[in-house]
Chain A
Amino acid sequence: MKALPDLGPTRKLKLPKEAERTLPNGLTVIAIRRPAVPLVEVRLRVPFARTHLARARLLAQTLFSGTAELSTVDIAAELQKVGGGLNAGADPDRLMVAGNGLVSGLERILELLGEVLSGAAYPADEVATERDRLADGIQVAQSQPSHLARVALIKRIYGKHPYAVQTPEVDQVRAVRPAQLRALHAERLHPAGATLVLVGDLTPEKALDTAERVLGTWNGGGKQVDLPPTPPIEPGPITLVDRPGSVQSSLRVALPAVDRTHPDHAALQLANLLFGGYFSSRWVENIREDKGYTYGPHSVIEHNEAGSCFIAAAEVATEVTGPALLETYYELGRLASLPPKQEELEQARQYALGTLQLGMSTQGGLATLASTYAGFGLRLDYLPEYAAKLAGATLDEVAAAGAEYLAPAKVAAVVLGDAERIEGPLSALTAVERA
């Protein structure tokens, strides 16, 4: 037998050069240097909580649909000239403009961004086009099992919280008028509380100067809107959503979790890895590599500004829906009841630490990380702190996190599938309630 080579010495997590400035209008700019390729990544995050769902989505889709001087096509062509592209999207926490381009075009990209932030016109024709496209897109999403399962799950766990519904209905979209988009823009698209992240082959201080020169005139004002914390996840019967003829069942399991600054965070992350957070986890090895019930099961701790939760997801063959749920409860129960093995914990720990390095190794990865952290008031210097906590988490702490957060008794679950075929097998294991 040949022996597995040892790992070389671990290299310390090294943070890239960065600079940060909050402009007089309230915009925070963070510039990070990674010169590997002559590009820049751009992420603008604007707080957007408690906005009207259909209007927020359509605003994101029409933000680049013209100003008094420029048409949709003009804006896109001007961005292209410097190798650039920008897109906007909205979720219950924020509006995000994300894109990239040649770093030599940074100033021009920011100018065009500034023009839409100050002067997006929401022209009636363009709004009508995008309204139809958004409505069509929602109709397609509603035919996808993964989307339908997600819709049912967030409704189940968030109840009356604004997070409970994140996709507007088609007729709500059709009712949106351009004047409402202009009003929403005027009310909420302001620099106060917003963060612009720039990552690339740049000198951080100079990039800040450029951003200040170009976006310093973005009008201030706006108001801070906060979300209430998410409600505790209520355990109870499985919610069964019928999808007649479905050849697979979409299994979704939610459990409570904690945010990145909570003392249990690192231990819970490790417990999640042990359960289903990476390929070499108990759940994946069990229901995929041993039993062949499914292709890509995975679990993740989702962090949103108003709260965090654990979600496990698997698409399983209809005929093994019951057995797949049984194994899921079994693996959760095992983590909640018995301490993991030290070797198993070390493997998960190495994975967590290594993938931190990988996540920082590209411009796009760094930009998304820095922007996401900024939404929670954190900076990249959180990374070494987090790495130290991952490195220091003990077996007892991970076992305690498993018992506290991953106990099957606390599960809120949704199964989307062919109800006629799966209701019986599911009911044999636990109480089931039709959606």
Chain B
Amino acid sequence: MERHTLENGLRVVLAPDRSAPVIGVAVVYDVGIRSEPEGRTGFAHLFEHLMFQGSENLEKLAHFRHVQGSGGTFNGSTHLDYTDYYETLPANALERALFLEADRMRGPRLTEENLRNQVDVVKEEIRVNVLNRPYGGFPWLKLPPVMFDTFPNAHDGYGSFDDLESATVADAAEFFKRYYASGNAVLTVSGDLDLAETLEMVERHFGDVPARPAPDRPSFAEPDLTAERRESYTDPQAPLPAVASAWRVPDPIADYGAYLPYVVLAEVLTDGEASRLVERLVLRDRTVTTVGGYIGVMGEPWEVRDPTGMLLQAHLPPGGDVDKVLRTVDEELDRLATDGLADGELARTQARMATHLLRDTDAALNRALRMAVLEQQRGTPELLNDLPRLVGEVTEEQIRQAAAALVPQRRATVEVVAGGNQ
């Protein structure tokens, strides 16, 4: 794994792996949902769409056609703290991919026509994922406003239709100028590549991207809850009740040592039939039909900054009792904190986590994506290879302490009242 910084401030990580003749290319910008301005909910995501609408040397549609016409696939996605753009291709298309990413880093073609078209597309995306289905946006859009008070942390990251429709080309130009700076980006390439040759190509294509520094990143910190919060809403399309709760966890970056046990705790509680809450709630009590636990509303423990939380979500059978489920969760957390883990319980959870972490890194593209965010948020892309070990070093005592911290008065809960099939 090699790290470089170009003169314009672009950080570059290259990670050769010759196990298959393919490459993954990722460009990550340090801007996400939390950075979008008030009155412009959903703008970070809308802007992500605009980055595919043509650039300095490329007409609309050209990006898609060049990636796919080279045998590759592409996408982009908008997260709380970053936005990624990526493609994976046969290795012979490496230079072409670098050209395409560099071209839009120099500047996308921001036109009124493209903006209106993509506002329409995004509205259909929101309809298909949120408005026209049961449990739409649950819990990733529904829990943050219960958990947090400030606009950056609490608002709807998909955006309101009003805000999306009010977006202008000038807004987009300003957003690009401020956040899509070379100094605010990381480029990673993983897969079947030659280091020296690839670095030379990176210089050739990205070297003339104008230097712009990263903007100051404000703190999004909020105080922890001091009293339980609980809200509910009726989902007219949902046939069965559901509930999600979250508790704040330590800063994933500044307080990594204290944070890590929560990542493991989520798995002790919910990974598979032998986990605490599945065994108790699903198999024994039958008070829920499914239960899951993870870090951050987007479930990406290695790609989120403070403030964030550990989430539990459950779907209940018809007429299910949410209070009873929450009481049982409290009871199980208390039991874990008091009595500790059974023999082998932690080790087997860690073994399964190692499988998941290794499996995540089999594809060249996944390695590129994860390294890019690790570089951006921590400056340590090599952490990618260390995660199974670090997860394996979490101790029973740390798990007990983490479980003990998940008390009801620090909990934010949102409940879905089933309004469908009534």
By a beta-carbon cutoff of 8 Å, the part of chain A in contact with chain B is 1-2, 4-11, 14, 34-39, 64, 72-77, 79-85, 100-102, 126, 129, 132-133, 136-137, 139-140, 142-146, 246-248, 278-280, 285, 288-296, 315-317, 346-347, 350-351, 353-355, 357-358, 360-365
Contact = CB atoms under 8 A, between A and B. Distances in A.
Contacts of B279: 73
B71 A100 contact: no
Contact of B352 (A34, A83, A295): A83
Please list the 6 inter-chain residue pairs (A to B) with the smallest Cβ-Cβ separation, ordered nearest first: A354-B71, A292-B120, A8-B92, A347-B69, A361-B20, A83-B355
A25 B305 CA distance: 54
A278 B68 contact: yes
B91 A11 contact: yes
A8 B94 contact: yes
Contacts of A279: 64, 68, 74
B359 A102 contact: no
A132 B118 CA distance: 43
Contacts of B347: 81
B315 A132 contact: no
Contacts of B252: none
A358 B22 contact: yes
Interface residues of B, number: 82
Nearest to B58: A4
B88 A358 contact: yes
Contacts of B290: 133
Contacts of A351: 68-69, 71-72
Contact of A64 (B93, B273, B282, B315): B273
A144 B26 CA distance: 33
B421 A355 contact: no
Contacts of A350: 68-71
Contacts of B94: 8
A136 B70 contact: no
A37 B65 CA distance: 32
B352 A80 contact: yes
Interface string B363-380: 110000000000000000
A300 to B, nearest CB: 15
Contact of B117 (A37, A292, A354): A292
Contact of B355 (A34, A84, A248): A84
A296 B128 contact: yes
B355 A100 contact: yes
B351 A290 contact: no
A280 B121 contact: no
A171 B371 CA distance: 49
Contacts of A7: 70, 92-93, 96
30 contacts: A1-B57, A2-B99, A4-B99, A37-B361, A38-B358, A77-B274, A77-B345, A80-B271, A80-B274, A80-B349, A83-B351, A133-B290, A136-B317, A143-B421, A146-B133, A247-B131, A247-B132, A248-B124, A280-B61, A280-B68, A292-B119, A294-B124, A316-B124, A350-B71, A351-B68, A354-B71, A357-B22, A358-B88, A361-B22, A362-B362
